[in-house]
Structure 1
């Protein structure tokens, strides 16, 4: 496909429309984290006191941080990535890889750490992943990762904390 003025304008319009839908996503109230009864519970006021505004938006309202903004994207030390909301171990450092997407990516999770649900936002169906302990939104899983699983857990850095080994 040739790059011409028409294709640039059409592409830019598509990006603008998708961005507008992302910005206007419904925020129907506090704590829209994954539905269910989770072992770790806090009130909305407690979540707001515990988390930064960015982490609160991601973990409790299923927001998304901007790509390439998380220092954890460049974290390569041995250790464990835990939920920023409840400290549940989610990912081992040896399963992290550079996906080039701008978010920390892993090819598998620590057993029992992650739950999933269907996310039908943005006119597509994706698999959303959340902490199995507090229900906090972590990101999404895609089937374009490396072996041995072929999966890419694309995780918001603000939803994680790194604990060095």
Structure 2
């Protein structure tokens, strides 16, 4: 955030959204609801501090009205940081669904051709990581396969 002091809200969002999405995807398999809540509060403090620094002569109420609101179309959360001009908003950690880790049976190996159906079923049940619209559309077009190695 220190490097983004002079940047506008759209640049801040462009920088922060991939970081938040990546952290949420990585840590959603552990008991992380309290951690996600504290990280959301920390991100709120960072963005509020950035907005107050950007508009030193404005009141905190003006800053809240300008940068915080109900940006997400299906969520009722009022404290979402966003840019009213572009419509972009910062996703929250708590919005990432927590997916419990599923244990692998016995000595199952992905390299064993006899267990190919078992691994296919595991991949099908697993919830997809949170992706933006472009990445999700690309994954659907490619049927979840890498175009180079043809594996999931």
Instruction: Tell me the TM-score normalised to structure 1 length.
Output: 0.27
Instruction: Tell me the TM-score normalised to structure 2 length.
Output: 0.28
Please identify the structure whose Cα radius of gyration is greater: 2
| More helix by percentage | 2
